[in-house]
Structure 1
Amino acid sequence: MPSSSPTSARSGGRHRRAKAPNPAFRRAIVLAVTAPVAGTILTGTSAFAADKTDTKTIATTLDTAEQKIADNLNTRVQDPRLGSTLSGVVIDAKSHKAVWGHDATTALMPASNAKLGTSTAALTVLGPDHRFTTKVVYGDGTLTLVGGGDRSLTSGDLEALAKTAVAGLKNAGLTTVKVQVDDSLFPEPTLATGWNDGYYPDNIAPVRALVVDGHHVTDTSLDAGQAFATFLGDQGVTVTGDVTHGVANTHDVPVARHQSDKLSVLVKHMLKVSDNDYAETLLRMTALGAGRQATFEDGTAVVREVLSRYGVSLDNFEIHDGSGLSRADRIPAQTIADILDVADDPRYAQTLKSIIDGLPVAGEAGATLGPEWGRFDTADSQCAVGKVKAKTGTLTGAIALSGLTKAADGRWKIFSFVENNSTAAPGDTKDALDGLAATVNGCWA
């Protein structure tokens, strides 16, 4: 892996201003996305035509290394493993000039590359230091476990909440309680446009505001409540009746609380392992942070508005969820590259740095570009191990790879490759995309 991060490795970065953005910038965007934008936020087209004029955007002057990238990519995108439907682009991260493009504005299914937009919106609206809070309150003989949208909540966290709650109960002379769960922060779970019924529960759990240990069950809230009740029993408090759904009363007394890691930490985890559940929860919490409802529709509206405020083009852009599971999502490679370009911009590092830090590294065990996934292990791509940072994306009929690498000219390049409908085996298509990334790096010359 390079000895320094893509941002820190460069000096005199493009578009630099005298000062890095402060929280006022984030507040301005929050105000903008909170205000209604009649007739604009949810509009868009569902049919996108390929851009046949990509070469007009390519810089007229490329250095020797860049010209080699462009020439090699022009040849290698003809690989039959990539099929005939591919949107791709390479840009120089410092000068912002286009090095290469192939149907760059053609909108295709992005799969999990959509998580890059979700991350950008969440970090911008909520802030990288934001934490999610799970509470326990007491009233009228009932302990209520209140979900706060923390997908990272563990059994250990629940046990600690139970111990704190039991100490308060015993001090009050109480040894018997009822238990209920309050997940009313989110509406009842629904399928997003473009989601298959078969996604539950393997690919994603129904999106609720309360879950423990990332369990994939139909009702994650009751599951967490039942675990909480067991911990109460272990501490000597008797739980009567079944754990039920309910809503905490405003006069209930707070008895315990747990806060998650910072949002920046959660975003890095989400991107490293491409966690769909994190993405959909963050989409809803971002919508709430912008003063909207915790729904797919409002969450994606906020994503669009935030990206627009950063100057990312929304031409041919259509999303219906936060994870990229939707088969109705459409994003061009150019837009994905532009999102990465914003995240890598020194002006926004204070807010968005965790996106770049969270990109899987080629050969990194435990991440989606690790050897356990068969990535960057061919003769063509193995040379790029440790040299490419990129977000993966995989759906039936859609494979994507978008990220950064330091090219042979010593300059960082941002790339995005999105493939749809190849008839090759998915593993073979991934190998071909890894080869394209190695081509941008220059190690596969």
Structure 2
Amino acid sequence: MIIRSLGVAVPLAGSLVVGGAAPAPADVAPGESRAAGLDGELGRDLDAALKDRRLKGAKAGVVVRDARSGSVLYDRDGGGRLMPASNNKLPTSAAAFGILGTDYRFRTTVSTGGGNLYLKGTGDTTMRAADYGRLAAAVAEKGVKEVKGDLVADDTWFDADRVPDGWEPDDLQYAYAARTSALTVSPNADFDAGSIEVRVAASRPGRRVKAGLHPATGTVKIDNRATTGPRGSSPTLAVKRRNGSGTIRITGRFPAGAPKARVLRTVERPTLYAGDVFRRALKAHGVRVAGETRRGRTPADAETLATRTSMPLSRLAKPFMKLSNNVMAETLVKAIGRKVAGEGSWAAGLPAVTAHAGRLGADTSQITMTDGSGLARSNRVTPRFLSTLLGNAREQAWFDAWYASLPVAGKPGKLTGGTLAKRMRGTAAEGNVHAKTGTLTGVTALSGYVRGRDGRLLVFSTVFNGYAGSAPKDIEDKIAVRLAGVRGS
């Protein structure tokens, strides 16, 4: 063969109670706490943990609720509006489950029409080079040998805005701040979509290092200025990409005999990156494209040749939440926007996420979302909001899948313990605490679930802002471990 935009109403601000949840105490003054219904010393123990000198001058909010009744058991500055870091992924993921559904899948299709070949994406962050290879093989099996026209990369399922408001320009070369597109490539099994792996190996001392890209692509260039240093010398390797550039510069020295280095850097044009990876796969399967690779829109009458669907959201949520994948968060926000308003944008998706939290009984006056992941420092939320969301999510049909996506304290494995794999080992919290972490400079958060010694399930949210020095995650752990030891009053 030869080929020649439904609106969502936002609830009124205020405390909406569902599932028997009690309103948070409104009379707790800043710096004071309220404890009720707990064992006699717990309130004092939590207060003592929060008097740590590293929190002097910081803002610290902690709320503990009984998961079954929703009643507030402990509240210290729980109404303070704080930067949540990746705890922002809690409302984002809850909305994804509630609006898109546990069986939601992203779809990538290859179609033909008008002499062109069309590659259309809907935001699948799990697409790797091998997946594009399988699509190419399916095209070849259809008898396609040559494409007379162009290879058109269609990313129009989402808008062309790649970076949310509030992201720091200095972050944009790193994989945690990759650009969002409906058509992209992940270089690894962690699904760091929109990034590419730079591989550096030593050669002989004094000579240029060996450098390559994975997956191979012509949309990213390497400017290799690094040299191989003497065996045993200290490495000074630097791998950088300037914003707006498609070139990655490698400088410094890399010692002879050192293991190969692998560094992730973002790509400037994720859509064309995907198109180029697919084009190379087509060539490998005997399909020649005569024209160029460009962005465009798939005609409505195009004939579908091959389709690839992602794992369902119920499975995708594990790498998303346990590894705290920012690009997945932003992609889900746009997918939500596409579903509720016919527009794959942050402007459409973020209000829908907030509205969904309101339907779960959380007070939407207590949250401001400028992205879905929490990387922006302009996000604000209260621990009371997060604890209400966590408590009332238990009433939802999708709760089991959501709960399973949370990192588990002290349990090894990326897709089990996740970001909590090395924390709280050997304590009553190990294997017990299921919670979302959050980290930015001067920000740390931990919110989730823990079962006390008396068998009671507790919901907790701990958010610290503005502390000096390294993140006091040990204080978060101390609080969670203490909650794991709760006994009835």
Spell out the pairing of 1:217-228 with structure 2 (5 A cutoff).
Answer: 217-228=267-278
Q: Please give the per-residue CA displacement for 1:396-439, whole angstroms capped at 9, x wherever unaligned.
A: 1110001111112210111000000100312xx01221111111
Percent of pairs with identical residues: 32
In structure 1, what residue type is equivalent to 2:458? K
**Residue 452 of structure 2: aligned partner:** 407
CA separation in 2, counterparts of 1:225 and 1:352? 37
Of the three residues 75, 98, 105, the one matched with 1:131 is 105
Of the three residues 212, 233, 241, the one matched with 2:185 is 212
Give the Å deviation of 1:223: 1.0
Q: SS where residue 368 of structure 1 aligns?
A: helix
Give the Å deviation of 1:59: 6.7
**Residue 152 of structure 1: aligned partner:** 126
- Tell whether 2:359 aligns with 1:359: no
- Tell whether 2:51 aligns with 1:73: no
Give the Å deviation of 1:391: 0.3
Decide whether the 8 Å contact of 1:270 with 1:279 is kept in 2: yes
**Residue 422 of structure 1: aligned partner:** 467
CA separation in 1, counterparts of 2:338 and 2:298? 19
In structure 1, what residue type is equivalent to 2:467? S
Of the three residues 53, 69, 85, the one matched with 1:111 is 85
**Residue 166 of structure 1: aligned partner:** 140
Give the Å deviation of 1:165: 1.1
Give the Å deviation of 1:342: 2.0
**Residue 300 of structure 1: aligned partner:** 350
- Tell whether 2:484 aligns with 1:437: no
Instruction: Report the CA distance shift for 1:352/1:218 in structure 2 as closer, same or farther (over 3 A).
Output: farther
Spell out the pairing of 1:223-234 with structure 2 (5 A cutoff).
Answer: 223-234=273-284
What TM-score, normalized by structure 1, do the two folds share?
0.81
Unaligned stretches of 5+ in structure 1?
1-30, 42-49
Give the Å deviation of 1:52: 5.8
CA separation in 2, counterparts of 1:443 and 1:53? 22
Spell out the pairing of 1:15-414 with structure 2 (5 A cutoff).
Answer: 34-35=7-8, 53=28, 60=36, 62-64=37-39, 67-83=40-56, 84-170=58-144, 174=146, 178-202=150-174, 203-213=176-186, 214-216=193-195, 217-345=267-395, 348=396, 350-365=397-412, 366=414, 367-371=418-422, 375-376=423-424, 382-414=427-459
CA separation in 1, counterparts of 2:454 and 2:45? 15
Q: Please give the per-residue CA displacement for 1:347-370, whole angstroms capped at 9, x wherever unaligned.
A: x1x223222111101123321112
CA separation in 2, counterparts of 1:193 and 1:215? 18
CA separation in 1, counterparts of 2:486 and 2:75? 20
Instruction: Report the CA distance shift for 1:187/1:63 in structure 2 as closer, same or farther (over 3 A).
Output: closer
Decide whether the 8 Å contact of 2:34 with 2:76 is kept in 1: no
CA separation in 2, counterparts of 1:412 and 1:132? 34
Q: Please give the per-residue CA displacement for 1:172-218, whole angstroms capped at 9, x wherever unaligned.
A: x6465531200011111243232211221312211110112224211
Report the number of matched residues. Answer: 387
Q: What do you get for the CA RMSD once the two structures are aligned?
A: 2.5
Q: SS where residue 366 of structure 2 aligns?
A: coil
Give the Å deviation of 1:155: 1.9
CA separation in 1, counterparts of 2:119 and 2:288? 16
Decide whether the 8 Å contact of 2:185 with 2:270 is kept in 1: yes
Give the Å deviation of 1:383: 4.5
More strand by share: 2
Structure of larger gyration radius: 2
Q: SS where residue 287 of structure 1 aligns?
A: helix
Decide whether the 8 Å contact of 1:300 with 1:320 is kept in 2: yes
Decide whether the 8 Å contact of 1:383 with 1:443 is kept in 2: no
CA separation in 1, counterparts of 2:342 and 2:372? 15
Q: SS where residue 137 of structure 1 aligns?
A: strand
Decide whether the 8 Å contact of 1:137 with 1:145 is kept in 2: yes
Instruction: Report the CA distance shift for 1:175/1:181 in structure 2 as closer, same or farther (over 3 A).
Output: closer
Q: SS where residue 341 of structure 2 aligns?
A: coil
CA separation in 2, counterparts of 1:339 and 1:222? 39
In structure 2, what residue type is equivalent to 1:100? Y
**Residue 22 of structure 1: aligned partner:** none
Q: Please give the per-residue CA displacement for 1:103-150, whole angstroms capped at 9, x wherever unaligned.
A: 001110000001010011111111111111111111122211101111
Decide whether the 8 Å contact of 2:119 with 2:151 is kept in 1: yes
CA separation in 1, counterparts of 2:399 and 2:111? 34
Give the Å deviation of 1:282: 0.2
Q: In terms of mean alpha carbon deviation, does 317-326 or 213-222 score higher?
A: 213-222
Q: SS where residue 290 of structure 1 aligns?
A: helix
CA separation in 2, counterparts of 1:136 and 1:439? 54
Instruction: Report the CA distance shift for 1:192/1:400 in structure 2 as closer, same or farther (over 3 A).
Output: same
CA separation in 2, counterparts of 1:273 and 1:291? 29
Q: SS where residue 184 of structure 2 aligns?
A: coil
